Structure 1
Amino acid sequence: MIVNSESVETTQKLAKTLAQLVTPGTTILLHGDLGAGKTTFTQGFARALGIKRPVKSPTFTLVREYQTPEFMLYHLDVYRLGEEGGADDLGLAEYFNPESVSLVEWSEFIQPDLPSDVLNVTLTRTDTHDQIDQRKIEVTATGSHSQQILNQLEQTYGIDD
C-alpha cells in the first residue's frame, strides 16, 4: 500500500487508522532517513490509542513505554546502536511479545531480535520548494498476522470517519 502524504496531518491520519487496527503481538518497523517522519508517525499512532503524554523519540533512552487501555505500547529507536550492533545484551527481544505492540525505528540494527511477522512502514521525503511535509509512505507486511492488518488498512484508510 502506498500513500502520498502532503502534510503532517495526512501522515498522522494513516498512523491513526493503523493504530485502530493493530492487536497485541503486532510489531511495526519504521524505515526512513533522519527527518523522514518516523516519530511524527508514532505520535499520531500513540494519540489514536489514547496516549496523552508527549511522544518523543527515544534516541537516547532506546525505549519509551506507554500504557494503553488494552496493551503496552513500546517505541524503540535503536539508531545509537549503529551498525556495530551491541543489542545482544540489552534484552530487546522482550519488547516483541504477544501482549504488546511495538514500533521500531532503525530496526536494521537489531535484525536478529525482531520477530518474522511484521508490518514495514517506509517513509520517504518527497518535498518540493512549496511543500516541505510531503512524504511517500509505503506499508508492507511479512507474516499472516501483519498481512491481515494490512488488508484491513487497505480497505479502511481514506474512509471518512
Structure 2
Amino acid sequence: MEKTVDIKNQAGTEKLAASLAATAGAGDVILMHGTLGMGKSAFCRAYIRALADNPDEEVPSPTFTLVQVYELEPLPVWHFDLYRLSDPEEVHELDIEDAFNEAVSLIEWPDRLEYLTPENRLDIYIEPGSNPDARQIKLVAHGNDWEKRLDSVTGKVA
C-alpha cells in the first residue's frame, strides 16, 4: 500500500509527522529515505516532539552518536542515523533488535541495513516538491496495520 502527500513547507512536514506519531506503537519501524537536506531529520524531530507532547523537547541529530534513545511515555523512541556505517553487521552494536521489539525505531539512511531490513515497516521517501520549501512524501506500508493507520494520517494532512 502506498500514499503520496504533497507538503507545502516544513510546517506541513511537522503536521504529517505529528499525525503519524499519534498512531505510534511498540515495534514500529519507520525507514526515512531521501538525499541530504530533504528533511529526514526534521521529520524525525517533529515525530519525537509530538510523541513527547513537548514542542521544546531537545532532539539532537544522531549523526555522530549513531543512535539517540528517548524514554518517552507512552513508549520509547530510538532514532538511528546509519549514514556512517559501512557494513550492516555494525547495526548489531547499536542494539537495534531491542528497538525493533520494544520501541518505535526511526531510521535515517536505512539502505545500510541491507538484508537486516525488517519485513514489517513503513518506508517514507522524501523528495523535492514544486518549490524550494515543498516536499513530496511517499508513504509505503509493509505489514502490520500500517494501511489502516495511513488512511487516518493522510486524511488529516492532505
TM-score bracket for this pair, using the shorter chain length? 0.7 to 0.9
Per-residue deviation, residues 101-120 of structure 1 (Å, max 9, x unmatched): 10000111122333210000
40, 59, 63: which one pairs with 2:63?
59
Structure 1 residue 158: Cα displacement: 4.1
31, 42, 53: which one pairs with 2:33?
31
Contact conserved, 2:75 with 2:103, CA < 8 A, in 1? yes
Inter-partner Cα distance in structure 1 for 2:61 and 2:133: 18
135, 147, 150: which one pairs with 2:147?
150
Inter-partner Cα distance in structure 2 for 1:133 and 1:150: 28
Per-residue deviation, residues 27-57 of structure 1 (Å, max 9, x unmatched): 0000000111001101110111115432122
Inter-partner Cα distance in structure 2 for 1:59 and 1:156: 28
Aligned-partner SS, 1:21: coil
Runs of at least 5 residues in structure 2 that lack an aligned partner in the other structure: none
Q: Which residue number corresponds to residue 72 of structure 1?
A: 76
The number of equivalent residue pairs is 152
Inter-partner Cα distance in structure 2 for 1:142 and 1:39: 22
Normalised TM-score (structure 2): 0.86
Are residues 1:96 and 2:93 paired? no
Q: Which residue number corresponds to residue 135 of structure 1?
A: 135
Contact conserved, 1:19 with 1:46, CA < 8 A, in 2? yes
Distance 1:124 1:88, change over 3 A: closer
Inter-partner Cα distance in structure 2 for 1:12 and 1:38: 11
Aligned alpha-carbon RMSD (Å): 1.9
State the percentage of identical aligned residues.
34
Structure 1 residue 85: Cα displacement: 4.2
Are residues 1:110 and 2:113 paired? yes
Inter-partner Cα distance in structure 2 for 1:113 and 1:156: 27
Q: Which has a greater percent of helix?
A: 2
Normalised TM-score (structure 1): 0.85
Higher relative CO (Cα under 8 Å, sequence separation at least 6) belongs to 2
Inter-partner Cα distance in structure 2 for 1:155 and 1:119: 15
Inter-partner Cα distance in structure 1 for 2:147 and 2:47: 15
